Amino acid sequence: MIKLNKKQDCSGCHACANVCPKQCISMKSDNEGFCYPQIYKDKCINCNLCEKVCPIINIPNKVDDKITAYACKNIDNKTRNVSSSGGVFSLLCDYVISQKGIVFGAVFDENFNVKHIYVEELKGCERFRGSKYVQSKIGDTYTKAKKFLDNGKIVLFSGTPCQISGLDSFLMKKYENLIMVDVACHGVPSPLVYKKYIESLEEKNRSKVSRLSFRDKSTGWSKYSFIVDFKDGKKIKEIGSDNIYMRGFLSDIYLRPSCYDCRFKKPITSADITLADYWGIQNIHQEFDDDKGVSLVLVNTKKGQDILEKISSNMKVIKTDIEYAMENNPYIVGSVKYNKNRDKFFKLIEKEDLESSIIKSITNTFIQKVKCKIRSSLGKIKRIIIK
Ligand SMILES: Cc1cc2nc3c(=O)[nH]c(=O)nc-3n(C[C@H](O)[C@H](O)[C@H](O)COP(=O)(O)OP(=O)(O)OC[C@H]3O[C@@H](n4cnc5c(N)ncnc54)[C@H](O)[C@@H]3O)c2cc1C
């Protein structure tokens, strides 16, 4: 039976809960809002399938074909505009749906919680567009995907690298009709913090949220905006780096514990294709950059290459230097650093409002500021002495 020694050893992928033949594992939220398996021992038959499919216990040992990197833009600007980077994921959806396949990905539900669902028609795929910066709940989607695969349907499954490794592990065999796509991942924020944020927005604005975009491009792709529309017609629009939720997210104070030591960074991957933002594109393919979003597409397998060729007539594509692309996108290969204020933050939100808890946890204290100043002055003195 699966045993969790420390929280860092669970990415919350739901593989164990999906595989249990007795349904004796359920995923329960902890006090930080992240899901962990809870086992009802009375029902357990000690089949150990839960351990067998855990992608952290059995890290995928992928010695794969060489990874190839491309800069890609969907030629349909309308779609690219509402996607987070170059709108490549929508092209993959178009292809799979045209083959009467099924697409799995992350959407907002009616209360703006983020969860995985599947879609069989092109219309529904619009909900997948755009990065939602919170951990998406996998639920029973691995089980559903397996049923479609066993019935011979083409399945496109997208998610964070841990979710895709979880699926791969859960399936326990390779399916020719499965396309696995992961998104490069900074780390996933707490669903509890996100929920508190939505509640505080609704309370302050005395209206329910009707639309949310973490990465609106109306102020540019590099200087994206955070947008919220409310049911009563009000609207909030802030530059992403000014938005309090994004500031907390990018300061790494409320990511899942496993994200600080993510086991699914490149070159380990189960995915056929990895989608990322091509940060730094302006310095290497200047003519390609129009500040409307370019995807960095990493092709990890032969299947991934075949699929990319199938959608390439609807994209502008150039082969690119993988080393350069990775240097500009550090979280494709490495984990974020643990923020020492993380514990303080989770204690603060128990008694204070979210905004002030974030501000207190991301702002350097006076002592920290003094220490930084001393360190940087010492660095300058050292450099002068060396010269
Ligand atoms: C939490 C998170 C962190 C990220 N961190 C980075 C990063 O550090 N560097 C980088 O280059 N790119 C990162 N990305 C990926 C990037 O923002 C784009 O999603 C990616 O480039 C695809 O863009 P697109 O234009 O092709 O498609 P889009 O249509 O914008 O992408 C939508 C895809 O993202 C998936 N998705 C959206 N939200 C979630 C979620 N919460 N969980 C799982 N899957 C989700 C959808 O299922 C769909 O497959 C991150 C994405 C997420 C969700």
Q: pLDDT tens-digit profile of 20-30? A: 999 999 999 99
CATH of domain 7-53: 3.30.70
> How would you write the pLDDT of the chain (387 residues) with one tens digit per residue?
888 889 999 999 999 999 999 999 999 999 999 999 999 999 999 999 999 999 999 876 665 568 999 999 999 999 999 999 999 999 999 999 999 999 999 999 999 999 999 999 999 999 999 999 999 999 999 999 999 999 999 999 999 999 999 999 999 999 999 999 999 999 999 999 999 999 999 999 999 999 999 999 999 999 999 999 999 999 999 999 999 999 999 999 999 999 999 999 988 889 999 999 999 999 999 999 999 999 999 999 999 999 999 999 999 999 999 999 999 999 999 999 999 999 999 999 999 999 999 999 997 645 555 555 555 555 545 444 444
Q: How far apart are CA 60 and CA 41, in angstroms?
A: 28
Distance 46 CA to ligand 1 centre (A): 37
Q: Which atom of ligand 1 is nearest to the CA of 277?
A: 11
Q: How far apart are CA 197 and CA 208, in angstroms?
A: 12
Distance 233 CA to ligand 1 centre (A): 28
Mutating to test ligand 1, I would choose from 131, 186, 272 the residue with most ligand atoms within 8 A of its C-beta, which is: 131
Distance 133 CA to ligand 1 centre (A): 8
Mutating to test ligand 1, I would choose from 70, 109, 117, 183 the residue with most ligand atoms within 8 A of its C-beta, which is: 183
| Residues within a 6 A CB radius of ligand 1 | 83-90, 105-106, 114, 128-134, 136, 158-160, 183-186, 188, 275-277, 295, 329, 331
Per residue in 222-238, pLDDT (tens digit) is 999 999 999 999 999 99
CATH 3.30.70 maps onto the chain at 7-53
